[in-house]
């Protein structure tokens, strides 16, 4: 038997096998999605983008310090809150000037969200923010805030779980100021006795 004949005989079973695999695969449903025509059905807690609730941010810098990629940028300044009409002292408070996340560096580890003690950062499942210019992946606080409506509500508590402390605190009745004791020899309340605890 010549070499050419031998080769053609060994090709035939391979060809038949290949055709059989093709025929089998053609009858199976496709595993690919025709994105962007068909949107993927992602789990609600997917890590798409980070949303910022700027009102909750105290500029404590914890998230920026713990970010392994150093891709969170925060600027703030101190503001003086004047004392109330009933006395007390002026207070100092941080005011957020800039909060930005560079998503070209972020590795979506979620450490910043875990670290935030004031519930200012959240995962949103939105992922369609690809850019043709990498510099546009730097989201400033206004853009981070625009993701907030896409943040899913927290999952329901397990049956029998204790009520979270925040809910118990929020449902307490407001404190009413105690009546001030009259100063000795006058009908006027004692000066500086405005505590309502």
Q: Which stretch binds ligand SF4 (CB under 6 A): 2-10, 14-22, 63-71, 125-133?
A: 63-71
Regarding 137 and contact with ligand SF4 (CB under 6 A), the answer is no
Nearest to 71 by CA among 138, 5, 147, 171: 138
Nearest approach, Cβ of 134 to ligand SF4 (angstroms)?
A: 16
Give the interface size with ligand SF4 as a residue count (CB under 6 A): 26
Q: How many CB atoms lie within 10 A of CB 86?
A: 10
- Residue 99 bridge partners (DSSP): 74
Distance CA 51, CA 144 (A): 5
Q: Is 150 exposed, middle or buried (0-12, 13-18, 19+ CB in 10 A)?
A: middle
Closest CA to 111 of 66, 70, 46: 66
| Minimum gap (Å) between residue 111 Cβ and ligand SF4 | 4
71 is in an annotated binding site: no
Q: Draw the binding track, 83-122, toward ligand SF4 (x: CB under 6 A; -: no contact).
A: ------------------x----xxxxxxx--xx-x-xx-
Is the Cβ of residue 42 or residue 108 nearer to ligand SF4 in the bound state?
A: 108
Bridge partner list, 95? 77
Q: Which residues are annotated as a binding site for [4Fe-4S] cluster?
A: 57, 60, 63, 67, 106, 109, 112, 116
């Amino acid at each position: 038997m010549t070499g050419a004949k031998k080769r053609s005989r060994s090709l035939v079973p391979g060809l038949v096998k290949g055709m059989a695999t093709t025929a089998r695969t053609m009858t199976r449903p496709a595993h690919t999605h025709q994105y962007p025509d068909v949107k993927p059905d992602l789990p609600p807690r997917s890590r798409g983008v980070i949303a910022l609730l700027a009102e909750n941010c105290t500029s404590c810098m914890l998230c920026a310090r713990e970010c392994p990629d150093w891709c969170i940028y925060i600027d703030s300044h101190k503001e003086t809150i004047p004392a109330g009409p009933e006395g007390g002292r002026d207070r100092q408070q941080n005011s957020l000037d800039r909060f930005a996340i560079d998503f070209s560096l972020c590795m979506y580890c979620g450490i910043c969200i875990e670290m935030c003690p004031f519930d200012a950062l959240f995962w949103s499942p939105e992922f369609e923010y690809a850019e043709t210019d990498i510099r546009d992946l730097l989201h400033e606080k206004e853009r981070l805030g625009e993701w907030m409506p896409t943040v899913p509500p927290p999952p329901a508590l397990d049956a029998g779980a204790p009520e979270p402390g925040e809910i118990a605190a929020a449902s307490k009745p407001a404190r009413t100021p105690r009546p001030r004791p009259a100063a000795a020899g006058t009908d006027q309340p004692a000066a500086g006795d405005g505590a309502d605890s």
